[in-house]
Amino acid sequence: MGKLSKKGLIACGLIFIGITFVAIGITCALILQRVADPAPAPLPHKLASLPLISQSSGFLAVTEVAQLHNQTFLLTSASVGRYGDKESITIWTTGAPFKFLASQMLVDMREKINAVVTPFTPTGERIDGKRTVYQLQGMGQKHFYFQSGKLIVWMAADQQLAEQAINQILEFYP
């Protein structure tokens, strides 16, 4: 086979650039579709022996998260689950389009909690495998948040249920 001429190389380069732009456009369209109609995020059916008594998912859960933060997010999935008759445990699970975006959301949450006045006081961190689980106190409960792949999980639990619940959550969201 002979070498490509200069014009042939330019044509191949332009074709490659065109295919790249089409692929980026398709990816962006798919992400925007998922953001417009977020999927439910997985929730455990029980936590610390308490049943899941109420849940919201998809757009309703994204709206709840946005209201809590007074900010919108680029989320492709979300669910909020409440456990026990007295809502002793609540989980907010949100999904980002990409793992690196979930990582950035986690960093942003941590920085915001440490930089502004919030009802939460950081009480430590624990390492679970290759991830960090952040621990807080506030509003009469223990709070934990962490990343699991493309998901960010935040759990609030009554003091006496917190350790059992976080251990189960860490197994549910590996």
**What confidence tens digit (pLDDT) does each residue in 14-67 have?**
788 888 877 676 666 565 566 566 899 999 999 999 999 999 999 999 999 888
> What band does 2 get if pLDDT is binned at 50, 70 and 90?
low
Confidence (pTM): 0.81
Q: Say how far apart CA 83 and CA 118 lie, in whole Å.
A: 24
pLDDT at 79: 97
Tell me if the domain spanning 39-172 has CATH number 3.30.450.
no
Domain assignments of the chain as residue spans, ordered by start: 1-36, 39-172
pLDDT > 90? residue 114: no
The answer to whether 91 and 153 are in contact (CB under 8 A) is yes
Mean pLDDT, residues 105-110 taken together: 92
pLDDT digits (tens, 9 = 90+) for 71-105: 767 899 999 999 998 889 999 999 999 999 999 99
Q: Which residues of 55-94 are buried (b: 16+ CB within 10 A; e: fewer)?
A: ebbbeebbeebeeeeeeebebbbbbbbbbbeeebbbbbbb
pLDDT > 60? residue 1: no
